Amino acid sequence: MLVNSVFHAGVFTWLGLYFFVERYGLGEVGIGLALLGYGVPGFLLGPVIGRAADRWGRRWLIPAGLAVGAAGAAALIPDAPLLAAAVAFTVLSLGYDMTRRSSRGS
């Protein structure tokens, strides 16, 4: 629950405003396109993440998800091209999905 609330209430809620409006000057459509990466890992990799949790165990996948999420967040710190920020946001979402899917099963 803590990881879920940190990602949703803390990170994903403010990325549209801070990164994509303040830093890149995007409008509503541009923000929507940039945030498409939020759903991609769960949509495409959800079953794979669930099977990985079943195969290797949640005790390995949850820390790996936290590390992937941290790498995605760290990649958002420096000024980078918009495409790099969108990819970093997708990596951040992948880390979130790894912690969430592995904690509740496949």
- What's the pLDDT score for residue 8? 59
96 — pLDDT class (breaks 50, 70, 90): confident
How far apart are alpha carbons 82 and 93 in whole angstroms?
17
23-32: average pLDDT: 85
42-56: average pLDDT: 85
DSSP string of 13-53, one letter each residue = HHHIIIIIIIIT---HHHHHHHGGGGTHHHHHHHHHHHHHH
State both tokens at 92. 């951040």
State both tokens at 23. 């830093």
How far apart are alpha carbons 75 and 91 in whole angstroms?
9
CB 53 within 8 A of CB 102: yes
